[in-house]
Amino acid sequence: MADYLLVVDMQSDYVAVGKAYHEELTAAVNDKIATYPSDRVIYILNRFFWERKDRKKKFATGLLVVSSRIFEKRRASCFTNPDLKDFLEGNGAKSIEFIGVDGNGCVKASILAAVKENYQVSVDLSAVGVANQKKFQNTLYKWHSIGVAVEGESS
């Protein structure tokens, strides 16, 4: 178990009926969240640079929200939020596990940034949404090549 679990972009903008990701992913994410103490779960919400800051972002329907540790990002990597970086450093985090959406987008960018920040990084593929599986093979190769621990890979 990593020091912190980062739940990336599990919000109604992306995870809902008619969207690329739905209930099955939410159930898998909830299963992973339940394995962590609530004070070790961090939620990342995406707010594009053009979106108004006063519009409340909503978590995906049915998402297990066990902590009030919620950080917004305005770019792909959650490490562009200095408050998140300060929180992790201030709490002595050494390792981070990532889940959420999308494996080729914000999860990928956040993992690459976490490795650059010298965190020990893991990802549980059973709780990561991926819209483009073909492109994801390159993402997996990259993660393996930089030492990311990948759980839940099919052989």
CA distance 37 to 117: 24
Displacement of CA 155 from its chain's centroid (Å): 23
CA distance 139 to 135: 7
CA distance 116 to 109: 11
Q: What is the pLDDT of residue 9?
A: 95
* Mean pLDDT, the chain, integer: 93
Q: What is the pLDDT of residue 46?
A: 92
pLDDT tens for residues 92-143? 999 999 999 999 999 999 999 999 999 999 999 999 999 999 999 999 999 9
What DSSP state is assigned to residue 11?
Answer: B
CB 140: neighbour CB atoms within 10 A? 17
What are the distances in angstroms from CA 118 to CA 34, 88, 112? 26, 12, 10
CA distance 16 to 57: 14
Structure tokens at 54: 């006063």
0.75 cut: is pTM over it?
Answer: yes
R_g of the chain, CA atoms, integer Å? 14
Residue 22 has pLDDT above 80, yes or no: no
Bridge partners for 73 per DSSP:
46
Does residue 96 contact residue 6 with C-beta atoms inside 8 Å? yes
